Amino acid sequence: MIPSGHMQTLTSTLQIKTLQSPTTSSRKTAQTPLQIPLSMHPIHKNITETKSQKESYNINGPFCLGIESTADDFSVGILSFDGEVLANVISAYVPEEGGIHPREAARHHTRVAGKVLREAFQRSGIKPQDILVVAFSQGPGLGPCLRTGATAARALASYLQTPLVGVNHCVAHIEIGKLITGARDPLTLYVSGGNTIVSAFEAGRYRVFGETLDIAVGNCLDVFAREAGLRQKKEALGAMVEQLASRGRVFAPLPYTVKGMDLSFSGLLTAAVQLLHEQKLHLEDLCFSLQEVVFSMLTEVTERALAHTEKPEILLTGGVAANKRLQSMLSVIAEEHDARFCVAPKEYVLDNGAMIAWTGILAYQHNITVPVEKSLVKLKWRLDEVYAPWAEG
């Protein structure tokens, strides 16, 4: 439990840091400083958490706090340096209409930041002064969302006088997947609304073996779902498509576009939407066809990368990783290549603060930190630009 006086001081610090943010773009967000007074917060939607209550562990510090805010989720994770997850609180922004509007999502993050932070501390059972390192998702992602999380992290690190670590969001998905599933050196398929990447570690970095040439696979499924009139409520759009697809029986051919090791989904999406508007097929059959084509493309590229790298595991991560049909296709190729198929529980494949905290710990242990004045966010920060010495075998 954070003493209320302590939290109030944190609140003031967060507001001050927002106004002093060093980037030109983040100065724009200074008009809406983080609103931390917790008693005034509306209840935020869809907060989840994993292991909580320090009583259930016998854990000693040090601890790292990680802040994730690249897109529609604002999340705070707290981990011990030996990899125990003490808290992983996620608050999801759900747009009323259409896709994610970056400024609206950032406004959501600003609104819930204080509550999510407080809840993470409460669940972890530790005090702010027990935190040794603060980590944040520095990129890639949506500018306004990234800057909101970065501002909170800078303020917290300055107030607690801890080192700050800027974490690459894509690397973090891989590292938390390895931690939770026990994978040592996987070939990773990272599939979400913003990313579609096949990667594996080689010579100091996670290398990209294949990626989308246009939209991400999760975006393709979400746009199709919205065109079909589906609306996100409790369930994600991708989960609704999956349910409909499970009842589909008729396969409609759609453009299958694999170019070398890269993939393209935009033409396929256009064709699927055209078929939808023609109304000659049941929605279940269209969802079934869309999933079969999209996941076959992903599986083909993943299998080729697996055959080339001979990695011992396939790790599936990102929001689309929860899809059972994709999991089953990848399990088959894993078995054929004597590899282990690994996928973490949902709260660790979605965007989450725990993955940022864990990667922050790995980087900190290799003396990789960033001064506050150089901690600008990197909207297009590629996975293969990150030096990852901790992943060396």
Question: By the criterion CB under 5 A, which residues form the site for Fe ion?
Answer: 192, 351
Strand partners, 343: 316
Nearer to Fe ion, 175 or 351 (CB): 351
Q: Which is nearer to Fe ion, 100 or 287 (CB)?
A: 100
Beta carbon nearer to Fe ion, 73 or 292? 73
Q: CA of 248: how far to CAs of 243, 282, 323, 378, in Å?
A: 9, 8, 15, 41
Q: Could you give the CA distance from residue 137 to residue 7 in angstroms, rounded to a whole number?
A: 23
Q: How far is the CB of 174 from Fe ion (least distance, A)?
A: 11
Burial of 212-228, coded b for 16+ CB within 10 Å and e otherwise, reads: bebbbbbbbbbbbbbeb
Tokens of 59: 């854990």
Show the tokens assigned to 240. 């609704």
Between 37 and 345, CB nearer to Fe ion: 345
Q: How far is the CB of 391 from Fe ion (least distance, A)?
A: 18
Which of 35/69 has CB closer to Fe ion?
69
Least gap, CB of 211 to Fe ion (angstroms): 14
Nearer to Fe ion, 245 or 350 (CB): 350
> Parallel, antiparallel, or unpaired for β 258-259 and 85-92?
unpaired
Nearer to Fe ion, 155 or 298 (CB): 298
Q: Which is nearer to Fe ion, 74 or 81 (CB)?
A: 74
> Shortest CA distance to 106 belongs to which of 66, 70, 157?
70
Vertex 215 angle, CA 211 and 219, to 5°: 115
Q: How far is the CB of 5 from Fe ion (least distance, A)?
A: 36
Q: Residue 318 CB, nearest distance to Fe ion (Å)? A: 6
Shortest reach from residue 290's CB to Fe ion, in Å: 21
What is the closest distance, in whole angstroms, from the C-beta atom of residue 341 to Fe ion in the complex? 20
Q: How far is the CB of 80 from Fe ion (least distance, A)?
A: 23
